[in-house]
Amino acid sequence: MIYQGVYRTPSLWCRLHSTYVRKMRYLFELKEDDGICRQAQNSGTFYLFHNLSPFLKKVGSKYLAPQISVAEMKSMLGKFKQNEQMIEDSVLIGCSDECMAYFALDLGSLEKSVIESELRGSFTELRKAFFQLDGKDAPLLSSAQALLRWHDTHQYCSKTGQPTQKNLAGSKRVCHTNGIIYYPQMSPVVITLVSDGSRCLLARQASFPKGMYSALAGFCDVGETLEETVRREVAEEVGLEVESLWYSASQHWPFPNSSLMIACHAMVQPQQTKISVNKLELEAAGWFSLEEIMEALGREPKPLKQEDGSFSLWLPPKWAIAHQLIQEWVKLQASSPA
C-alpha cells in the first residue's frame, strides 16, 4: 500500500530521485499504468496537430509550439460539442523536470480553420516549419508526429485483421483477439559527411529547397552493419569508395516516417575524388571548401537567389544532425595542421 501510494503521487515520488532518473521512472509508470496516465492527462499540457500538422504560432522569424492546458482543451472541445473523452486519444511524448506530462493530440476530425481562429495560430506542415522551429520544440514535435502517424497506420492486427487498441499513453497497441502487442518502431538510417581531407561532400535531392545541400543519407538494408551501409550508400550515390569512417551521434527524424539517423564521418582517398552522381537518388552533389562552408554557416537557412539565377549554398538548421556533422568537420579542419 505504501509503495502504491508513493507511485500514485507524482509530486512525492518525483522528490525521491535525481531529476533524470525520476523523469524516466515516472514516464515508465505513465506508459505501464493507465490509471496514473489518466491522472497525468488531467494536469498535463497538450501539443495539438491536425492531420499530422502541428499547431504553431509565429513569433518574429521563429515558430513556437504552444502548450495547451487541459482546461483550455476541455473548453475548446465543449465549443465544438465534443466529448471530453477525446483527450484520451492523445499520446504521451514526454514530461518536464517537475514531472508535468506532455501529450500530443490530433484534431483532424474537427474544422481546422475554426481551431486556428480560436487559438490564434495555424497548423503548419512540419517539414516546412522545421527551419524556423525553436530548437526545444523540434524534437518533441518530431516524436509526436511520428507516434501519431504510427497509431493512424497500425489500427489493425497484421495477423488477425482485427482492430488493435492503444493503451492510454499510446506506447503500444494490443490485439485482444490473440494478445499480440505492437510497439512503435524506427527505421535505421545512416547520414554521412564525406571528406577528402580538405573538402567535404554535400548533395541535394530534387525535393530540397533551392540551394540547400546536406550530407548523404540512406536506409540500412536488412542484414547490413552500419559500416556496410555507409560504404554502400556513398558508392551508390556519388561513386566514391570510403577508406575510413567513424561514428558521431544519432537523432530521431520523422521523415518520411520514423527514422533513427545515425551520423558518421567518412574519408576517401584524396586522389580518388571524382564524383559520379546517381541521378535516381540525387539531383546534384559537389565538393565544398572550408571557406564555402564557413560562409554558408554565417547565412540564414533560407533560399538566396544570386544575380546569375543560381542559389547560394545553405545548410540544414542548427538542431539537425547534418548541421552537427558539418560543424564537427569545420572544427576538425581548424585543428588540423596547415
CATH number at residue 275: 3.90.79.10
213 and 169 within one domain: no
Question: pLDDT, tens digit, for every residue of 54-73?
Answer: 999 988 777 899 999 999 99
Do 153 and 52 share a structural domain? yes
The residues, ordered by sequence, that sit 6+ positions from 244 with a Cβ below 8 Å of its Cβ are 266, 267
C-alpha cell at 259: 527514422
Sorted by sequence, the CB contacts under 8 Å of residue 323 that are 6+ apart come out as 315, 316, 317
In a domain, 6, yes or no: no
Domain end position, chosen among 119, 149, 175: 175
153 and 250 together in one domain:
no
CA–CA gap between residue 131 and residue 318 (Å, rounded): 9
Q: Which residue, 141, 175, 209, sits at the end of a domain?
A: 175
Residues 113-172: pLDDT tens digits? 999 998 999 999 988 877 778 777 888 999 999 999 999 999 999 999 999 999 999 999
Q: Do residue 171 and residue 192 come from a single domain?
A: no
Provide the residue range defining the domain that includes 208.
Answer: 187-335
Cis preceding-peptide flag for 337 (omega within 30 of 0) = no
Pick from 121, 94, 329: nearest CA to 129: 121
Mean pLDDT of 181-209: 95
**Whether 87 and 157 share a structural domain:** yes
326 and 218 within one domain = yes
Q: With contact defined as beta carbons under 8 Å apart, do 290 and 245 qualify?
A: no
Predicted pLDDT at 9: 52
Q: Is 181 inside any structural domain?
A: no
Asked if residue 13 is part of any domain, the answer here is no
What's the length of the chain? 338
31: number of Cβ within 10 Å: 17
Same domain for 159 and 31: yes
> Is there a domain that residue 9 lies in?
no
- Quickly tell me which residue has 486519444 as its cell: 89
Same domain, 218 and 293: yes
Q: Give the C-alpha distances (Å, rounded to integers) separating 260 from 133, 140, 145, 195.
A: 20, 15, 14, 23
Q: Please report the DSSP string for 135-175 in residue order.
A: TTHHHHHHHHHHHHHHHHH--B-TTT-PBPEE-TTSS-EE-
The answer to whether 256 touches 207, Cβ cutoff 8 Å, is no
Domain assignment present for residue 145? The answer is: yes
R_g over Cα of the chain: 23
88, 149: one domain: yes
Query: Does 274 lie in the same domain as 226?
Result: yes
Over residues 200-224, the mean pLDDT reads 94
- 7 inside domain: no
If one counts the domains in the chain, the total is 2
In a domain, 267, yes or no: yes
Please determine, for residue 174, whether its predicted confidence score (pLDDT) is greater than 70. yes
* pLDDT, mean of residues 280-294: 96
Q: Rounded CA gap, 105 and 82, in Å?
A: 14
pTM for the structure as a whole: 0.84
Q: Decide if 12 is inside a domain.
A: no
Same domain flag for 305 and 229: yes
Same domain, yes or no: 55 and 131: yes
Predicted pLDDT at 219: 95
